[in-house]
Amino acid sequence: MHRINLLSQRLANQIAAGEVVERPASVVKELLENSLDSGATRLDIDVEQGGVKLIRVRDNGTGIQKDDLALALSRHATSKIKELADLESIGSLGFRGEALASISSVSRLSLQSLAAAASDGLAWQVQVEGQDMEAAVTPVSHPEGTTVEVRDLFFNTPARRKFLRTEKTEFGRIEETVKRLALSRFDVQFTLNHNQRSAHQLQAARSDFEKQRRVGLVCGPAFVENSVFVDMERAGLRLWGWVSLPTFSRSQADLQYFYVNGRIIRDKLVAHAIKQAYRDVLFHGRHPAYVLYLELAPAAVDVNVHPTKHEVRFRDSRLVHDFLFSALHKALAEVRPEDHIAASADAAEAPANQPHSGASDDFYQMESQKPLTLSES
């Protein structure tokens, strides 16, 4: 009979990484969420070979102080919460303190940072390789903010790397991750480079016009042209965003983004409420498109339900369901027949990660081959 043994810290982290780091896009998601939680207003993402060779995320956030750099690579080390009660009012995207430890256990990771609170103005870095080496902190030249470099993902777990898809597919998943976050934070500038070539650029969007334009750049202009804006409040709940007209339906549920307090989620209750609102105006087998934002008190929703934080649990699920249904049903009922702009078959069925009206393959580009920024007319 086998004896019971304690797992080494390295092995425990590699096992835990299976829940957090599924593929390169998972790494990008965790790093970008950390940057957003640090107050960053600019995010620069560099990727090589679909994220397997290199993922680099640079931000202009508050940075990490020297004494916290090595600690940041430890499991369950976080600045987001201190006690269980903090989860009831959590406002950050991350809170478990597992991401960097999990990522560093299956890659060669470098963390460089200059903290805004650093009185000496010095930047520091820490480097680890599969957590097989001690995390020594050394000085480095770096502007205010943080840069995380992840190289050779899954170099020490070949079985994990074997299950990755092609470079194009993995980069496509990274694009989708950036797209989701770009829709959640209009106030942040995003740039994405792949194999040292500029892929996407999004300037910060502040006005309502700029926000709508970002939605069009991400989801395609046909979606914006064939959608109605919703904004309703009731009983401490607010729902706002864009929902497609019945004439702009899709054969797959691939253009649907729903956010709760800025966090993208997948929830059966939400999906059911939206489906019911469209029940009388969509043919069977067709799906609506939407970019919606639900705002409510943090204590009214539990985000600590799933390792990926994609699922939530509402304290009063019936209230949320009825509010979503009534808000969307009312908005769709008020649409006049002349407001319907029939989308062409090509537009309605274009891939969700591309513009829908004959645009280039780059979903952030409309007419030219150069990256389009919101400052352009």
pLDDT tens across 185-222, in order? 999 999 999 999 999 999 999 999 999 999 999 999 99
- For the chain, the distance separating the N- and C-terminal CA atoms, rounded to the nearest angstrom, is 72
Between residues 75 and 230, the one the model is more confident about: 230
What are the residue boundaries of the structural domains of the chain, listed by start? 9-202, 227-342
At 293-311, the pLDDT tens digits run 999 999 899 887 766 567 8
pLDDT at 2: 67
* CATH class of the domain defined by 9-202: alpha beta
Half-sphere exposure of 152 (CA within 13 A, CB side): 12
What CATH number belongs to 227-342?
A: 3.30.230.10
Beta strands in the chain (DSSP E): 42-48, 54-59, 108-114, 123-129, 137-140, 145-151, 189-194, 197-202, 227-234, 237-244, 256-260, 263-264, 290-295, 301-302, 313-314
Residues in Cβ contact with 13 at an 8 Å cutoff, skipping those fewer than 6 apart: 75, 101, 102, 104, 105, 131
- Strands 290-295 and 256-260, by their bridges, are parallel
Pairing of strands 256-260, 301-302: unpaired
The alpha carbon dihedral of 211, 214, 220, 222 has a sign of positive
Task: Judge contact between 54 and 155, C-beta under 8 A.
Answer: no
Q: What angle do CA 242, 247, 251 make, to 5 degrees?
A: 90
Give, in degrees to the nearest 5, the angle at Cα 40 between 49 and 69. Answer: 75
The pLDDT, as a whole number, for residue 302 is 87
Nearest 10 degrees: Cα torsion 340, 341, 346, 350: -70
Q: Which two tokens stand for residue 337?
A: 């027949």
pLDDT for the residue 134: 72
Q: Residue 95: is its pLDDT beyond 80?
A: no
Contact assessment for residue 73 and residue 137, using Cβ atoms and an 8 Å cutoff: no
Residue 88: band (very low, low, confident or very high) from pLDDT cuts 50, 70, 90: low
Helices (H) and strands (E) in the chain, counts: 11, 15
pLDDT digits (tens, 9 = 90+) for 10-43: 666 555 555 679 999 999 999 999 999 999 999 9
Q: Is the pLDDT of residue 363 over 60?
A: no
Environment class of residue 88 by beta-carbon count within 10 Å: exposed (0-12), middle (13-18) or buried (19+)?
middle
Taking residues 5-11, report their average pLDDT.
66
> What residues contact residue 183 under an 8 Å CB cut-off, 6+ apart?
214, 215, 218, 257, 259, 264, 291
Residues 6+ apart with CB under 8 A from 366: 217, 221, 355, 359, 360, 372
- The number of residues making up the chain comes to 377
Chain centre to alpha carbon of residue 143 = 25
Structure tokens at 329: 């049903």
Name the token pair of 332. 């769709």
- Portion of the chain with pLDDT greater than 90, in percent: 66
Position with higher pLDDT, 306 vs 163: 163
Unique residue bearing structure tokens 């269980």: 84
- The pLDDT tens digits for 221-275 are 999 999 999 999 999 999 999 999 999 999 999 999 999 999 999 999 999 999 9
